[in-house]
Chain A
């Protein structure tokens, strides 16, 4: 089931938190809604869930406009902070299914499956409000997955997890979402997380949709300098106000297709490799050196032509 934003704006306390967003989330795909804190990502999820009222435009799930104040039965939503009601985890996971008139036998199966998929099967009998941060985050995800809704909204699903837990879920979550066949919209401010989780990216900056499309397309050739900067590109001043964007980790020491001069300030030797820091045209950059490779004063660094995008803004 697809989700569309048609010129949607949200104004709150005199500030426009979302500005004329027009986006299409493809059915059955995982889309990362990527942007810094306060960009309007959660506002977009809340609009889809009917928790927020648009001041202009409309949000459609399939062909049905979203009604503020009511969540469509087609939508499951895992909030950023996991909130549970009094009772066992199993009761909490089951509750949403009960309110959606799922028969009892089916409810038990779905709860078991979602708990197993998120690795919390052994916690089902525990008091939901006494789970650790990581367990609660997995339970939060399990509750959304148990609904098996055509549209699943996940707000920062990996926040609050420790590093190993985060790595594991980052590995498991994309397959899990694809297996459920849901249109998943995952909010994150982490570029690497977005690239690992999603098929498509929507980049939101200051309440404006600045880029959208398949992840390789958006990441490989960002449509504007603001998106490139947020995606970790190094932006260098070029000719006549032009900006040269170099993709993250694309700069290498030595000659190549696009050559630049780097002033080396400092080198950290890590044994197997070294890291050189300095500036290119006054912009701070860093490059990795191979073992034994030396860098002092002015050196030549380069990037492949495909890793360089030029912007006029």
Chain B
């Protein structure tokens, strides 16, 4: 219990002092996880729409794979991405391993199934007549997509929150492909691991509290947007 209070005091002290290293780690965390979430949205929302609105052989298999992807351990994703990006791997010459880009790629792989799965579910939950209405109104393909996403936006916001929540809190993939290099690829979760390993539990707790605060702030913003639309 003492460690928690000490951590809280340390967190307040670090934030109040405007600790440059902490600021840098927090900013990197938001940029890497935010970037990965935005990319996952750009790819996942159209894919979710496609899966919800088209019928083709193997669709159930793909939906099953997406749903499985929602529960794949980040460290496994990290391992696969590491094998792809490591110098001897197929994308080795691109020299992405142990960079922020590598972390974005790994987090993108983690977030995308969540965005696809939640988006497909949100679109399928729209009234059964909805796609027929768009056909009868003679909406073009892009307009259909836009109107459908607009109608399903409450569920899609959940997809974004789930995606961001999953990547900002993961440690395995970031550690594996980013390498936790101080000043370059260290994010809050990997910094917590480092602090804990050093026995700096107060510092680790402080970082944990800051991570929670960031996650809460982003989710609160998205929730506020979601609820404004729901009114």
Residues of A within 8 A of B (CB): 46, 49-51, 69-71, 73, 75-77, 79, 81, 83, 85-86, 95-96, 99-100
Contact = CB atoms under 8 A, between A and B. Distances in A.
Contacts of B151: 85-86
B138 A69 contact: no
A77 B129 contact: no
9 contacts: A46-B132, A49-B132, A51-B132, A71-B135, A79-B133, A81-B127, A86-B150, A96-B138, A99-B138
Interface centre among B129, B136, B137, B143 (most CB of A within 10 A): B136
A90 B150 CA distance: 18
Main secondary structure, interface of A, reads: loop
B139 interface: yes
Given A83-B130, A85-B151, A51 B138 contact: no
Main secondary structure, interface of B, reads: helix
A53 to B, nearest CB: 12
Contacts of A51: 132, 135-136
Interface of B: 127, 129-130, 132-133, 135-140, 143, 147, 150-151
B136 A49 contact: yes
A72 to B, nearest CB: 9
Contacts of B129: 79, 81, 83
A85 B147 contact: yes
Contact of A79 (B132, B138, B147, B150): B132
Per CB-CB distance, the 7 closest pairs between chain A and chain B, nearest first, are A96-B137, A83-B129, A77-B136, A99-B138, A71-B136, A83-B127, A79-B129
A71 to B, nearest CB: 5
Contacts of B132: 46, 49, 51, 79
Contacts of A96: 136-138
Contacts of A79: 129, 132-133, 136
A95 B143 CA distance: 11
Contacts of B140: 99
Contacts of B135: 49-51, 69-71
